[in-house]
Amino acid sequence: MSSFTVGFVLFPDLTQLDLTGPLQVLARLPQSRTVVAAKLESPVPSDCGLSLLPTHSFASCPPLDLICVPGGVKGVIGAIGDRETIDFVRRQAAGAKYITAVCTGAFVLGVAGLLQGRAPPRIGPTPNYCLS
């Protein structure tokens, strides 16, 4: 039986590489299982047209030890305005040992109130003119 559950959050128009890159690495953790959760257990379209099939709905998702929220500009804009997605992330993060995001997925963590008191995440290179 798995002792460590890694979970990814799916939402429409996410950037599939922000999901599949970390999934490819984290799915290889010893004594772990990987969960991909969305509102429903039906295909979720990415921002490039590739549909992704969740393993669980938010309602049927087991407790996660590590939660990862992928990015994607259009998808994240939708996700931060979706109460069910934000509530799922907040609820799962409450019991998770690791709370992670890729790129703009950090905004979902912020809206869920999970970045309070933490250093702001860095999303891509910061040009010098942004530092003044």
Residues labelled as active-site residues:
103
Distance CA 61, CA 126 (A): 36
Distance CA 15, CA 113 (A): 22
- Please give the helix or strand (H or E) that residue 33 lies within, else none: strand 32-38
For the chain, the 3-state helix, strand and coil shares in percent, each to the nearest 5, are 30, 20, 45
Q: Which residues pair with 36 in a beta bridge?
A: 8
